[in-house]
Chain A
Amino acid sequence: MNRDTKQMMNAFGKSLANRMGFLEEVSTSRREFLKNSSMLAAGFAAAGVGGGILRPRMAHAEGWTLAEAAKPYSGATVRVSNLAGYPHNDFMRALIPEFESTTGIKIQLDSVQYGEAVGKHMQLLATGSDEYDLYNIDSIWFPGYAPYMEPMTDFMADPKLMDPTFDYADLSVECQRTNSFLDQVYMFSNMNTFPILAYRKDWYGEAGLKAPVTWKELYDQAAHFSKDGKYGYTIHGQRTAMMEMVTIPFLSMGGTVFDDYLHPTFSQPAENFENAKLAMQLIRDIYQNKLTPPGSLDFELGEASAAYAQGNIAMNLNWAMIFAVQEDPAQSKVAGKNGYAWAPTGYDKPAPNGEVVGGYTRLASFGLGMAKSSANKEAAYLFSQWLSSPGTQEKLVQAGDAGPSRIKLLEKYSERYGHFPILLESTKLVGKKLWDAPKIANERQWEDTVAIAFQDCMIGKISVEEAVVKADKDVGKLMRQYGFYKGDKEYPKSVTSNYKGTPKVELL
């Protein structure tokens, strides 16, 4: 382990950014920063990819083989910090010996719990540690990692490294976007996920009901099923999940969460306010009228699914990769009994042709990001590429992965899981149909801030209206502290959005 001691000591005086060699000599006090309003700063912190889809230059060398490509790096050890507990990552573990024997590159996997991953990773990266070569990252957290990550674009252009059969275009457009940043590809997604409504096909058949298409219908059905120790719906209300719980209905009713300048917009304009109140009221009613299990305000996504898998809940709106658990007879009482549907749209009438105004919520994908401090970048690249390659991804699906990120696999294995057809459709959602979520480095923080306000409402501490207003106010304050607004001047869309604006951060 070779660590640069000097680099450590610099942490005192110099900014962390300078140390990372990310920016040469930019040193501004916050006061100055706010006054002079250099956009650059928050730009890097906040920058979205901007622009349309990235088309990286890819080498294409006929006759390329992994064994040949890996020859110079044989004997190297690639250390990966992996997220613990995904079925996906357990399947992947079983395939690694194959990679090791082909390439002679040793893979060392350490697992870290999802909730602690970002924290632990950031500590390592910000202090310049070279502990890991690859970090398993949820794409929604990526902007925070960006300054410490090595883009993969150059490796993709290298004929010695790029696998000609990789088929980059087969990764869904949204996966490509969320894993790119400022004109560079940073990760290949190896798992892709989207919120889908799972429901008890058997119960619905008996009751002569169909999956709900509006939120009001969802509520009524949930109320219908909630009796005799059964529940209609399952909320996942823990802090990391609460924001999405309310914004999914909110967005589908036409709501927007941020305006072009990253001001939170739950409470303005008036129609947004109305929709936010409707969505909040809906979730609150589900909770307070006990249409969801009593502990559900404390549920993580996984706990919600575990509860659903016990067989006395009618609906579970959850992320696709989790369904592997509830469809596994060893872990679930409801395997094979589930129907899958799109989440409802609209409060009492569905969006016409599924044209959701505010967008369905976002797609999330997971990939391996390469640390700038890595000493084995080529070997790390080869592993990352191998993991997302069509062959490996196919083996993962065969093993039971419920969130493959390759479109062709979703088409080929559409029978494998009930939700695959919907997941396939969702990978084709772009632009208006998908929530234009900001790609910002303080993602976790604003989500938590919103969640706190919403939770206060769920437990009856504040009213629905107060909760919506509080969410706006607190997020606004947070954004200001983070350096997003500078005085009265506003922020350009280009750094707030994944989809619109120009590809580069503008310097105003």
Chain B
Amino acid sequence: MAPKSRAYWIACYAILAVYGVFTLLPIAYLIVSSFKTQQQIYDGVASTFWFTPTLDSYRFIFETKPILQMLTNTAIVSVGSTLFSLVFGTIAAYGLARYKFRGRDDLAFYILSIRMFPPIVAALPIFMIFNSLDLLDSKIGLIIAYTSFNLPFVVWMMTGFIKSVPVQLEEAAMVDGQSQLGAIRDILIPVLRPSILAVGIFCIIFSWNEFLFALILTKSQAKTLPVAIPEFITWTEVGWNYVAAAGMVLVAPVLVFSFLAQRYMVRGMSMGAIKD
């Protein structure tokens, strides 16, 4: 890349600094609030970051709600739906990327349009189907529902990635006597691994944070944590410290996870790099 001028670096650092504060301040606010009492929340701006920390909020939320169970549910449902979507989505993406057939573009658009379907419309009918299939308040039901919006995402992203892998690689393997599935398994998947990982991380984030379906399709057994959070905002009081504490429990695993995984995310998303 061309060497950058002094002005560029000034602008770069200035903007990064401002944007960095903008990005981190709310998260810092979330973190400190989770260690406050209700009183301290309302104490005003001066003491936002200056107070005696307490674990009361955490104690309260773990005592009043089955937080661990809900966290486990969230994890099971996210991972389950992600695996499901990745397997079927990648296979479908292969079909779309490697074959040209009539109606392919329409089919691709149909798959994308599933994601356009406002969840609000889908929620009630899905509720009714699940009710009749006895899938309400079950993790399986939630996994299926989440798959409905993760799958189109996977198909769309993976189609692009697969297209960027030269088809000659597989053909070479097939000439050497591999079956098509074998070639996919042994040649394509290893090459695509970073992309699959990156798309998977997105799927996990989307499902981890999903609210509307979880709200409508669960009650107690399969309830996920995002649904429980607004319950601390009630008619009689806004337990911001409880919301913050529950929010911390919910986001901490994802934050740690994404910290560890972030370099795969960029690398996976820039898969196109391997073409020529």
Contact = CB atoms under 8 A, between A and B. Distances in A.
Nearest to B238: A303
B136 A131 contact: yes
A86 B236 CA distance: 6
A116 B229 CA distance: 13
A490 interface: no
A302 B132 contact: no
Nearest to A311: B42
Among A85, A108, A112, A300, the one with the most B-chain Cβ atoms within 10 Å of its Cβ is A85
Nearest to A12: B128
B276 interface: no
Interface of A: 1, 3, 5, 8-9, 11, 83-87, 108, 110-116, 120, 123, 127-129, 131, 300-303, 305-306, 310, 321-322, 325, 331, 333
A325 B39 contact: no
Interface of B: 38-39, 42, 124, 127-128, 131-132, 134, 136-137, 215-216, 219-220, 230-238
B230 A113 contact: yes
Contact of B42 (A116, A128, A129, A310): A310
A124 to B, nearest CB: 9
A112 B235 CA distance: 11
A87 B236 contact: yes
Contact of B237 (A111, A112, A331): A331
A3 B235 contact: no
A292 B233 CA distance: 22
| The 6 residue pairs across chains A and B that have the minimum distance between CB atoms | A85-B234, A302-B236, A114-B235, A8-B132, A302-B237, A84-B231
Nearest to B240: A306
A310 B44 CA distance: 10
11 contacts: A9-B132, A85-B232, A86-B236, A120-B216, A123-B216, A301-B236, A303-B237, A306-B237, A306-B238, A321-B236, A331-B38
B231 A111 contact: yes
A305 B132 contact: no
Contacts of B132: 3, 5, 8-9
Contacts of A3: 131-132, 134
A113 B233 contact: yes
A115 B220 CA distance: 18
Nearest to B129: A8
Nearest to B41: A306
Contacts of A108: 220
Given A108-B220, A110-B219, A325 B237 contact: yes
A322 B124 CA distance: 33
Contacts, number: 77
Contacts of B216: 120, 123
A127 B131 contact: yes
A127 B233 contact: no
B238 A8 contact: no
B128 A116 contact: no
A272 B38 CA distance: 43
Contact of A8 (B39, B128, B220, B234): B128
A375 B233 CA distance: 32
B225 to A, nearest CB: 14
Nearest to A324: B236
Among A120, A306, A322, the one with the most B-chain Cβ atoms within 10 Å of its Cβ is A306
Given A3-B134, A113-B230, A131-B136, A333 B39 contact: yes
A129 B216 CA distance: 13
Nearest to B230: A113
Given A5-B132, A128-B131, 19 more contacts: A9-B132, A83-B235, A85-B232, A85-B236, A85-B237, A110-B220, A113-B233, A113-B235, A116-B230, A123-B124, A131-B137, A131-B219, A302-B238, A305-B236, A306-B42, A306-B237, A310-B42, A321-B236, A333-B39
Among B124, B137, B215, B233, the one with the most A-chain Cβ atoms within 10 Å of its Cβ is B233
A448 B39 CA distance: 32
B43 to A, nearest CB: 9
Contact of A1 (B38, B124, B134, B220): B134
A128 B128 CA distance: 9
Among B42, B124, B236, B238, the one with the most A-chain Cβ atoms within 10 Å of its Cβ is B236
Contact of A11 (B38, B128, B134, B236): B128
